[in-house]
Every structure is written in structure tokens, then in C-alpha cells.
């Protein structure tokens, strides 16, 4: 659970009364933005209060009846999502910067420069976002804001989302070591063994091309062979 000293209060006013919970501000914002975080990891106290600062608790029976639920956690989730979240200026600044970085990272991992067929560095994406003066909101997840930001970047830099299919030829000695690397980087469309070598057909976000090659060469000491066979 979250330290009570660092927690903030979320307040939901309904039926003429206030219901409050103590939460970790950062995790609460992420949860409201769609991230899958356990309730017990967000709350400092697994309790709903009528007045949190005074320690006045709301009874479970009352919450079940008021929110028309069979589990108190469902009432807590409703307060968490619909309640007023009061953040300090510093908390807002930190969360805004983090959300901005998340959006830029998603775009950098999935997009390429269609003129050169190469990924854009993260710094270039961030600079273009700054130039385009895109508005990032902390109440929405990074994924929800990617399409809007990508549209704003197109007048600034040549960019598009694309997937690549890459044929990979792996010496048998490294096949086991590379298994998890391949799974993490994309989707294995096809794999087969020919003699002492493994052949894989991978589909990856175009922005991960350089990262994939770096990891493959790092494990195999440059003995791997790759070739882009299809752009989608």
C-alpha cells in the first residue's frame, strides 16, 4: 500500500454527501487513464471515509446500498474514477512530463520516416512535439493521445506508423538465447530449422528496427543475418 504521508484525497460528492479515499496521486492518474493497477496498490488505506481528515469512516453496508454494488471494492473504483482529484502544481508538472514522454516513446517505437524508411530518434519526436505545441493531458492515457499527436507532427516531420516483416537467420548456438528477445520485440510469423540454423519471420513496429538489430547482434556477436522482406 501507499504511504499515508504521501497520499492525497479523492472526493466524490453524491446524494448530498462526500465520500473520500486516500490514494497515491501518480497511480490514481494512471488508473484513471486506463492502466491496470490493483486497487490495493493505489490506496493508502482500504477504507472509504465520510471525512478522511477527521477519520470518519463510511460503513460497508451503506456503500453497498448507495452505489448499488455487491463488493465494496466496486464502490471504491467508482470514487476513484469519478471523484475530484486535487493535485499540487508540482505533481501536475511531473505527471504531465511523464505522460508526454510516454506518448513520444510510443510514437518513436512505432513510426518511421517514410522518406528514408528509418526510425525517428526519440529526441526528434520530442522536439517536433514541442514545435507543434501539442497539448498533452494527464487525465488520458498515452495510447489515447497518440493519434492526435501523430496528426500534429505530420506537418513538422515526415512520419507514419508502419510494421516491418524481417527475415532472421540465426546460428543454432544462439537460438535459445534469442527466443525471449524475439518474443518481446514483435510477433513471430514463421519459424523453421534448416540444417544448423533457425530461420524466423518477424513482424515488428518499424520504429524498433534498430533496437532489434542491436539486440540480435549483441547476443550473436554479429553472426545473425537479417533482411526486411515486407513493409506494411
Half-sphere exposure of 224 (CA within 13 A, CB side): 25
Grid cell of 199 as nine digits:
530461420
Q: Report the alpha-carbon angle 138-144-148, nearest 5.
A: 95
> 4-85, which class in CATH?
alpha beta
Supply φ then ψ for residue 229, to 5 degrees.
Answer: -110, -15
Residue with cell 526510425: 119
d(CA 142, CA 34): 9
Classify domain 163-231 at the CATH topology level: Alpha-Beta Plaits (3.30.70)
Burial group, residue 73, by CB count within 10 angstroms (0-12, 13-18, 19+): middle
User: What residue spans in the chain does CATH classification 3.30.1250.10 cover?
Assistant: 4-85
User: In which band, very low, low, confident or very high, does the pLDDT at 201 lie, cut at 50, 70 and 90?
Assistant: very high
Q: What is the pLDDT of residues 28-60, one digit of tens each?
A: 888 887 888 999 999 998 999 998 888 899 988
User: What residue spans in the chain does CATH classification 3.30.70.240 cover?
Assistant: 163-231
pTM: 0.68
Classify domain 89-160 at the CATH topology level: Arc Repressor Mutant, subunit A (1.10.10)
Yes or no: say if 41 and 11 are a contact pair by the CB < 8 Å rule.
no
Q: Is the pLDDT of residue 161 over 80?
A: yes
Task: Classify the phi-psi angles of 58: left when phi > 0, otherwise alpha if psi is within -120 to 50, otherwise beta.
Answer: beta
User: In which band, very low, low, confident or very high, does the pLDDT at 1 lie, cut at 50, 70 and 90?
Assistant: low
Amino acid at each position: 500500500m501507499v504511504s499515508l504521508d504521501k497520499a492525497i484525497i479523492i472526493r466524490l460528492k453524491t446524494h448530498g454527501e462526500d465520500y473520500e479515499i486516500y490514494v497515491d496521486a501518480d497511480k490514481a492518474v494512471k488508473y484513471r487513464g486506463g492502466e491496470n493497477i490493483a486497487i490495493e496498490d493505489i490506496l493508502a488505506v482500504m477504507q472509504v471515509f465520510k471525512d478522511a481528515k477527521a477519520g470518519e469512516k463510511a460503513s460497508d453496508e451503506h456503500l453497498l446500498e448507495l452505489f448499488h454494488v455487491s463488493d465494496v471494492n466496486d464502490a471504491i473504483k467508482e470514487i476513484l474514477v469519478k471523484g475530484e482529484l486535487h493535485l499540487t502544481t508540482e505533481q501536475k508538472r511531473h505527471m504531465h512530463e511523464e505522460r508526454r514522454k510516454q506518448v513520444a516513446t510510443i510514437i518513436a517505437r512505432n513510426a518511421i520516416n517514410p522518406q528514408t524508411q528509418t526510425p525517428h530518434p526519440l529526441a526528434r519526436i520530442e522536439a517536433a512535439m514541442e514545435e507543434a505545441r501539442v497539448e498533452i493531458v494527464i487525465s488520458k492515457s498515452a495510447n489515447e493521445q497518440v493519434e492526435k499527436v501523430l496528426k500534429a507532427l505530420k506537418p513538422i516531420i515526415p512520419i507514419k506508423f508502419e510494421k516491418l516483416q524481417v527475415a532472421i537467420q540465426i546460428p543454432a548456438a544462439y537460438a535459445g538465447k534469442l527466443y525471449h528477445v524475439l518474443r518481446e520485440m514483435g510477433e513471430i510469423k514463421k519459424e523453421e530449422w534448416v540444417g544448423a540454423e533457425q530461420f524466423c519471420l518477424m513482424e515488428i513496429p518499424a520504429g524498433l528496427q534498430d533496437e532489434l538489430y542491436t539486440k540480435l547482434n549483441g547476443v550473436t556477436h554479429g553472426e545473425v543475418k537479417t533482411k526486411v522482406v515486407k513493409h506494411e
